[in-house]
Amino acid sequence: MKAIINFASNLIRGTSLKDVYKFNGGVHPHDHKAESTARPIAKLAIPKNLVLPLRQHVGYIPKILVKPGDHVLKGQMLAEAEGSVSAAIHAPTSGTITAINEQVIPHPSGLPDMCITLVPDCKDTWGQLQPIDWRHTDKKTLVESLRASGIVGLGGATFPTHIKLGASGKSNVHTLVINAAECEPYITCDDMLMRERADEIIKGIEIVNYLLGAEKCVIGIEDNKPQAASTMTAACQSKAVSVKVVPTLYPSGDARRLIHLLLNVEIPNDKRSTDVGIQVFNIATVLAIYRYFEFGEPSVGRVVTITGNVETPQNFEVLFGTPLQTLITAAGGAKADTTHFIMGGPMMGFDLPNAQVPITKAANCIIAATPKLFPAAPPAMPCIRCARCAEACPVNLQPQELYWFSKSDNFEKARDYNLFDCIECGCCSYVCPSDIPLVQYYRYAKSEIIAADKAKEAADLARERNDFRIARIEREKLERAQKHAERAQAGKTEAKLADGAATETGVEITSSRQETESKAETNTATATDKQAAIAAAIARAKAQKLASANATGTPVEKATSPEISKTPETEAAELKAKADKQALIAAAIERAKAQKLAATQAGLSPKNVDNASPAVQEEISKINAIREEVGIKDK
């Protein structure tokens, strides 16, 4: 068997390495992979309880959909993706939700975070699964459905997969790269997946290739995995997928380094691989995508390598939320001299706070550490400027310069030297003869710069808000002033219009007043005429009364004439005529007085009688005629 593997390894190396383009730097530490590849992948038993942190991926934490006391089925969504960059959390098995609280999670800080606690009922009952016929379904619909799958990058980055496949349903990717390098020491989960589940991986690659619309696909495998390389090569012989074996050199598993190795394409530091039409997926991720579309299974577990200072290093299929101690026990337990546990590889992993933290989507490897395997770092010595760090840097940086700038808090200078291009692979620290923890200085400088940028961003935002507030106040003042000016102008216009209207109205009022005065004068004259007529009538009545009284009560001397002797009847008739004439004269006098009085009240002088009304003038004419008739003269 070993001879076959060696032959396949030599064959692959002889035919594939000529197409590989090496990158600068890198290191080759002892890989320690054989310890955990001697046994096949085993399925870990369901533990007594599962603790599911909400923070298991890059982006926003999901929104909780359950509450304590709820019974859930395997695969049921417990928390849905919140926001564009987020991933859902599903029940790894059937059971009851007992708590939603803060618990310690696997994180470098060792701080607690919100978690959902599930107590299994040991029935492992699946909920209703809904496989998707991806060959006859719209691509956009398929990508959107992945948002509910909870699948993230299982190579360690944990970036939501639906984002990498293009959440909008559009893609300009022409080449799909499958990262099977697994360059860090100790980690073998991808190696074992390729050995045992190559057919499912190839089917998952077909789905991803279809969703991206890529024209070709290349699988990159390090040459220290000959069995996996031969198995994958055999599985994709009739497919539009090729396998390339790359040299075992850390960090060949970095996406940019792998793209350079396989395609001889340099990704600019300010670009992403998708900007040049290339997308990278991990082996475990494409396998999870296949399981989701083919069987409807969401992301509820993964293969984890447990190695280091344990009795039987091995790879296990583990449910998310399983306590680390359960996995350690399944590997035969940790040996007595174990001091702590490392999650991830020895180059980029971090120490776990305790053995009770749960397994999450980012946990590809757990290493039981001892002082012998990982001795404590000796005291750092001064930098001797040997430039070994620069030779080992796969990103072509100047690590010693970045070290000085970071140590002296000269962050702007460190930024100028492309500090953020550092992938924190640890190659510089690994080769440093002075044992300087260079990566720690870079992380410190990055964190300070990020904090300063956030503070500056907050200050800029506050300043913008203040400027906007001042501008708004000024604008409101101007608007108020403009409104006041408009109102004042409107008032002036209205005043002018009112003055014009008043002038016209005044003319009308004057004309009306003149008409009224004329009418009043006419009415006054008419009233005076009426009063004069009334006074004349009264005078006539008085005269008639006086005449009657004189005729009846006053003795009348008989008129005698020497010439004529009058009969009593004639004398009586004369007396009566004389009395009537006197009565008429008295009435005329009274009428004249009344007319004079009326003319005086009307403003007419006796000399200005011609201005009197026709009725008055007629009465005066009558009075004058009577006076002339009876011989009365004006005084």
Q: What are phi and psi of 343, to 5 degrees?
A: -100, 125
Say if residue 262 is in the same domain as residue 170. yes
Q: How sure is the predictor about 555, in pLDDT bands with cuts at 50, 70 and 90?
A: very low
Give residue 504's pLDDT.
61
Give residue 562's pLDDT.
40
Q: How sure is the predictor about 270, in pLDDT bands with cuts at 50, 70 and 90?
A: confident
Region 512-528 average pLDDT: 59
Say if residue 270 is in the same domain as residue 400. no
Distance between CA atoms of residues 306 and 314, nearest Å = 6
Give residue 530's pLDDT.
64
Give residue 492's pLDDT.
82
Q: What are phi and psi of 609, to 5 degrees?
A: -70, -25
Give residue 240's pLDDT.
80
Say if residue 397 is in the same domain as residue 468. no
* 379 part of a folded domain: no
Distance between CA atoms of residues 188 and 191, nearest Å = 5
Region 511-530 average pLDDT: 60
Give residue 139's pLDDT.
87
Residue 12 exposure: Cα atoms within 13 Å on the Cβ side: 28
The tens digit of pLDDT for each residue in 575-600 reads: 766 667 777 777 767 776 766 666 55
Helix intervals (H) in 168-248? 189-196, 198-212, 226-235
Distance between CA atoms of residues 545 and 30, nearest Å = 162
DSSP string, 402-432: HHHHHHTT-HHHHHHTTGGG-----HHHHH-
Say if residue 218 is in the same domain as residue 333. yes
Say if residue 416 is in the same domain as residue 557. no
Residue 565, helix vs strand vs coil: coil
Give residue 1's pLDDT.
38
Instruction: Please state the domain count of the chain.
Output: 3
Contacting residues for 534 by C-beta, under 8 A, at least 6 apart: 594
What CATH number has the domain bearing residue 201?
3.40.50.11540
Neighbours of 286 (CB within 10 A): 30
The parent domain of residue 596 ranges over: 446-630
Neighbours of 394 (CB within 10 A): 22
* 376 part of a folded domain: no
Give residue 3's pLDDT.
41
Distance between CA atoms of residues 123 and 94, nearest Å = 7
% pLDDT > 90, the chain: 58
* 381 part of a folded domain: no
Q: First-to-last CA distance in the chain?
A: 173
Q: Is the pLDDT of residue 4 over 50?
A: no
Per the omega criterion (within 30 degrees of 0), is the bond before 346 cis?
no
Q: Which residue do the tokens 């080759």 mark?
A: 28
Say if residue 215 is in the same domain as residue 293. yes
Region 228-255 average pLDDT: 90
Distance between CA atoms of residues 132 and 126, nearest Å = 17
pTM: 0.72
Helix intervals (H) in 213-359? 226-235, 255-263, 283-295, 324-330
Say if CB 28 and CB 91 are below 8 A apart.
Answer: no
The tens digit of pLDDT for each residue in 64-117 reads: 999 999 999 999 999 999 988 999 999 999 999 999 999 999 998 888 999 999
Say if residue 542 is in the same domain as residue 613. yes
Say if residue 306 is in the same domain as residue 161. yes
- Pairing type for strands 175-180 and 278-282 reads parallel
Say if residue 339 is in the same domain as residue 465. no
Distance between CA atoms of residues 299 and 319, nearest Å = 9
Per the omega criterion (within 30 degrees of 0), is the bond before 29 cis?
no
Q: Is the pLDDT of residue 606 over 60?
A: no
Distance between CA atoms of residues 466 and 468, nearest Å = 5
